[in-house]
Amino acid sequence: MAAVIWSVCLATLILSVMLMVQKILSFSEVMTSWIEGVKDVIELLFILVLAWALGSVITETQTSNFIAQVLRSGNISADYVPVITTIIGYFMAYCTGSAFGTMGILFPLVIPTVCHLTEDPDIQVQAAAAILSSCIFGNLMSPIADLTVLTRVSTQCDLNSHIKTLLRKVRKLI
C-alpha cells in the first residue's frame, strides 16, 4: 500500500514538473488542476484506505490460522486441494478486493498443506496456480478492489454498469 501512495506522489510530481518546464501550465494552474483532481478521487482514497484496513484486520485476527485448521482437519484428498483452494481464493479475493492480501494468506497455508498431503508435483503446481488464478478473479470482480475502483473513478462509470460489463466478460470466458 505504501508503494501505491509513493508511486502516485512521484507520478504527480513528475507530471507537474513536465507541465511547467514545457510551459503548458503555470504553477498556479498546476496546483488548481491538482486540487480538482484530488476532489475527483477522494472517494477512491477512502475506499482504498478501508480496503487496506480490512486486509490488516484479516492479518491481525489470524484468519490464516483458521483456514489452515479447516484444510488440515478434514479427510481431504490431495486431488481436491486445488479445487478447494480456488473456491476459497475466489471468496477471499472477492470479499477483500486484495489479490496480494489473498496470496499473502493462501500461499503460506496451502503450499505447506498440499506438500504435507502429497508428494505429487502436479498437484502442488495446481494448488499454486489455483491461488494465483483465484486472486486475479477477485481483483477483477470485487467492487472494492483497487483496480475496480480506479477504473470506475477514472472512467466516471457507475459501479453497477462496471460490474455488469465485467459479468458479461466472465460469462464469455465460462
Per-residue pLDDT tens over the stretch 106-155: 887 788 778 877 889 999 999 999 999 998 888 788 888 877 877 888 88
Determine, yes or no, domain membership for 30.
no
Assigned domain for 48 exists: yes
Residue 94 domain flag: yes
The answer to the question of residue 21 being in a domain is: no
Residue 7 has pLDDT above 80, yes or no: yes
In a domain, 3, yes or no: no
Q: What is the DSSP string of the chain?
A: -HHHHHHHHHHHHHHHHHHHHTTSS-HHHHHHHHHHHHHHHHHHHHHHHHHHHHHHHHHHTTHHHHHHHHHHHS---GGGHHHHHHHHHHHHHHHH--HHHHHHHHHHHHHHHHHHH---HHHHHHHHHHHHHHHHHHHHH-TTSHHHHHHHHHHT--HHHHHHHHHHHHHHH-
Domain total in the chain: 1
In a domain, 36, yes or no: no
Does a structural domain hold residue 6? no
Residue 133's domain comprises 42-173
pLDDT of residue 68: 58
Q: Is residue 66 part of a domain?
A: yes
